[in-house]
Amino acid sequence: MKGQTIRDVAAAAGVSTATVSRALAPDSTGRVSEKTRLRVSLAVKKLGYRPNQMARSLKTRSTRTVAIIAPELSNDFFMDLAEGVERVLDAQGYTMLISSSANSVEEERKRISVLTDRMVDGMVVIPAGAQGKHLKAIARRGFPLVLVDRLVEGIDLDAVLSDNEGGAFDLTGRLLSDGFKRIVFVGGNNVISNARERFSGFSRALRQAGIRTEPEWIRLAGMGVEDGYQGMDTMLKSPQTLEALVAVNSLVHLGMERRLLEWTREGRKLPPVVIAAFDETRYTPFLPACRYTAAQDAVSIGEKAGQRILERISLKKQNRKTGSRIIRIPITIIRH
């Protein structure tokens, strides 16, 4: 049927329109009897009634939606993380919106503006960079916000992260245990917090092993496939002998492996290279140079972030404030 209204549902169920509204509310438990809720539900089904969510949102000032902003949507890690967030939200009757900042702080700022205009109840943000004035501005207004995977300096916000430094320390330690002494760190930069933490763990492992790093062992370039490709190309053409390398993430790792494959297709002799990389992916077993991966539990990170953003939304509704928390999820080292 077309054009059915809440009055039609109330008439069919033999209750008031206010009772229908209470019965259809997500938090209706205890507000109406189970018998009444069943009568309303049957009337809704029979009439094909669909509530006007926009009108309800304006009345309750809640859309029961949470947005997640990721630097890119092609990254498996970010999508697995989003899956974890959605599991938690869906179980509580919330809908998730997802958007990409395209690794741009300016685009991230625009996306946040659009999503707040659409009255989302909260946001989970994987920051595109170190600049966070726009995040700080909405957090000051009391808007529920949780950072994931990366931190932004100078902002006191909830965050759910991997143990990046500890994971990189363990990852590098596996290569040291295998007898490698000349280990190169590839990818990353000083802008992104997780890249800094991973480089810090790498450096600490070498220091504790009594190994002094040389400038040519550090190839900070970026976080993408092309960065790994160019870094590997430079090292292959260098007179220095390659032994073992630590890749800052899966995209850099993929670019490195692609250049190694092309090198052999060009008919050149490939040195015996061993790679230890952050991020276990679905295609890692097919990458021949990879010996170890630091596996992040992206789904668990997402679930923790989902739980925390719902807590923040609840605190806002109760007009309560509490301090921020940083949650670190352990990393597992896998041998291939």
pLDDT (mean) for 95-108: 93
Higher pLDDT, 89 or 30: 89
pLDDT reported for residue 28: 56
Q: Residue 246 belongs to what H/E stretch? A: strand 244-247
**Could you report the per-residue pLDDT of 237-267, keeping only the tens digit for each?**
888 888 899 999 999 999 999 999 999 999 9
Tokens of 116: 């707040």
Residue 25 sits in which domain range?
A: 6-51
| CATH code of the domain covering residue 69 | 3.40.50.2300
Tell me whether residue 57 is in a domain.
no
Interatomic CA distance for residues 215 and 88, integer angstroms: 45
Of 166, 148, 200, 168, the residue nearest 325 (C-alpha):
148
Residue that is written with structure tokens 């926009």 in the block: 54
Give 258's Cβ-side CA count (13 Å radius).
15
- Is residue 319's pLDDT more than 90? no
Do 171 and 156 sit in the same domain of this protein?
Answer: no
According to the model, what pLDDT value does residue 29 have? 59
**Same-domain check for residues 317 and 258:** no
Report the pLDDT averaged over residues 203-210.
96
The crossing angle, in degrees rounded to 10, of helices 17-24 and 34-47 is 100
Q: In this structure, are 101 and 138 located in the same domain?
A: yes
H or E element: which one contains 259? helix 250-265
188: Cβ contacts below 8 Å, ≥ 6 apart: 195, 196, 198, 199, 220, 221, 222, 223, 248, 249, 252
Q: Is 175 found in the same domain as 149?
A: no
64: left (phi over 0), alpha (psi -120 to 50) or beta: left
Domain containing 34 — which CATH number?
Answer: 1.10.260
Average pLDDT on 54-71 reads: 72
> In the structure encoding, which two tokens stand for residue 138, read together?
């909405």
Average pLDDT on 50-57 reads: 56
Task: Based on the fold, state whether residues 306 and 158 are members of the same structural domain.
Answer: yes
| Arithmetic mean of pLDDT, 12-24 | 81
Give me the amino acid identity at 24: L
The answer for residues whose C-beta is within 8 angstroms of residue 205's C-beta and 6 or more apart is 168, 169, 170, 172, 173, 176
Stretch 208-223: mean pLDDT: 88
The better pLDDT of the pair 45, 82 is held by 82
Cα–Cα distance, 77 to 73 (Å, whole number): 9
Does residue 334 lie within any of the structural domains? no
pLDDT at 106: 92
More confident residue, 279 or 29: 279
Domain assignment present for 229: yes
When divided into structural domains, the chain yields a total of: 3
DSSP codes of every residue in 307-321: HHHHHHHHHHHTT--
Q: pLDDT category, 27, cuts 50, 70, 90?
A: low
Do residues 200 and 291 share a domain? yes
- 113 and 143 belong to one structural domain: yes
CB atoms within 10 A of CB 116: 14
Q: Which of 171-185, 207-221, 237-251 has the highest mean pLDDT?
A: 171-185
225-236 vs 250-265: helix axis angle to the nearest 10?
A: 50
Q: Residues 158, 193: one domain?
A: no
**pTM of the predicted model over 0.85:** no
Whether 238 is covered by a domain: the verdict is: yes
| 216 and 130 inside one domain | no
- Helices within 92-156 (DSSP H only): 105-117, 133-140
Q: Rounded distance, CA 168 to CA 174, Å? A: 10
pLDDT at 123: 95
Q: What is the pLDDT of residue 58?
A: 46
Residue 335 in any domain: the answer is no
Q: Is pLDDT above 90 for 81?
A: yes
Which tokens is 135 given? Answer: 């995040």
3-class DSSP state of 129:
coil
Amino acid 30: pLDDT? 59
CB-based burial label for 176 (10 Å; 0-12, 13-18, 19+): middle
Note whether 26 and 123 are same-domain residues.
Answer: no
Bridge partners for 97 per DSSP: 67
Ranges 42-46, 84-88, 225-229: which has the least confidence: 42-46
Confidence (pLDDT) at 286: 92
141 and 46 together in one domain:
no
Better-scored residue on pLDDT, 92 or 189:
92
How large is the average pLDDT for residues 268-291? Answer: 92
Domain assignment present for 333: no
What's the pLDDT band for 91 if we cut at 50, 70, 90? very high
pLDDT grade for 278, boundaries at 50, 70 and 90 = very high
Instruction: Tell whether 90 and 35 lie within a shared domain.
Output: no
**Of residues 3, 1, 23, the one with CA closest to residue 13:** 23
